[in-house]
Structures are given as structure tokens and as C-alpha cells.
Amino acid sequence: MIPSDQELIVKAQAGDKQAFTELFDRYRKKILSYLYRYTGNYQMAEDITIDTFLNAYTSLSRYKDMGIFSSWLYKIATNRAKDELRKQRQYKEIRIENLSDGEPESLSIEELIADESTRPDYEARKNELAKFIETTLAKLKKKYREALLLCDVEGMGLLEASRILKCNPITVSTRLRRARKIFYDLLEKHGYQH
């Protein structure tokens, strides 16, 4: 039987290093993927991932059933990424003031790629779209990128994302709608249909 996160946390807090290694193995790829999309830099994402787990390990004694363990990790990762990007000033922002106020339908990033699978140039277009999405993510304002990554890419609900981002669920919902709007406008501008 696979132990729950909470069971592993209790063991890790009691000094069982293997229990924390299991938590690391369980969440490393998800955190790395999230951080890569967040920062747009794979090496930076790897470094922040390691830093996130080191911070979690050293803070584990203070973790007292603070909610979902993965949300706690994402919160640490998000804060570390913000700090690193603030230091490096590597991201540019898309200004949304000039965009129309129409609201796009709800569609995840993965679904944007999935519809064209019958075309002969599917793989090339899929790779091109994936690269375009990564580039666009890197250009989004931080608050929109966070909402889009946590909700649409990582599959979190508004409540869980709001805990990570330290704001209310309505704010996350608003940011998510604006981020999706930017994506749809840019996709249409570059000839992609949704």
C-alpha cells in the first residue's frame, strides 16, 4: 500500500530520511515542470526545485498539517521563483491594457494542442505551438502567469491556488480569465484556432 503524504511527513519529521526521499520523488517532476514554465529557464527551474525541497526539508519540523502538502511545496517554489526572477529581471511583461474585454471559453493549454492530431504536419505544428506557449508564458505578467500555471497547467482549483498565491479565490479567477484572454488573442493573432 502506498503511504499518503501525511504518513510520509510524520515519518520524515521523526527523522526518517527515506520518507522525505519518497516525497521528493513524488513531487520533483511536477515542481520542476511548474518552475520551468514559470521561469522559462530550465537550469533556473532545476536550481529552484532543489532549493524548494531543501527549504521544505529544513522547515518540515514546523509543518503542522498546514493543508495539502503539495500546495505547501508549490507555495515555497513560487516564492523562490519570484525571488530569483526579481534578482535576475529575466522576464518581460505583456501589457493588457490594449486588449479587448471579450472573455474566452475555458480551455486548457494541453487542449489547444490536441485538436489538430489528424493533420499531416501535426508534430511540427504541435512543437511550434508548444514553443509559442512557453514563450508567451514567459512574457505574461507574473500574476497572470501564476494563475494560468497553477489552475490550467497544474490542475489546481481556485481555492488551492489562492492559498499558494496569498489572495482570495475571486482574484485568482479574475487573473485566470485575463491570462486566458491574452492567450486566445495571441493565438488568433498568430493563426492558431481554438
Q: What is the pLDDT of residue 128?
A: 73
Whether residue 160 is predicted with pLDDT greater than 80 in this model: the reply is yes
Rounded to two decimals, the pTM is: 0.61
59-98 confidence digits (pLDDT tens): 888 887 666 888 889 999 999 998 888 877 644 444 444 3
Tallying the residues shown for the chain, one arrives at 194
**Mean pLDDT computed over every residue of the chain:** 78
Whether residue 33 is predicted with pLDDT greater than 60 in this model: the reply is yes
Instruction: Tell me the domains of the chain and their CATH numbers.
Output: 5-88 (1.10.1740.10), 109-189 (1.10.10.10)
Q: What is the pLDDT of residue 139?
A: 77
User: For residues 15, 18, 19 and 20, what is the CA-based torsion angle, rounded to 10 degrees?
Assistant: 80
Distance separating alpha carbons of residues 72 and 58, to the nearest angstrom: 13
Place of cell 505547501: 72
Neighbours of 173 (CB within 10 A): 15
Distance separating alpha carbons of residues 119 and 97, to the nearest angstrom: 36
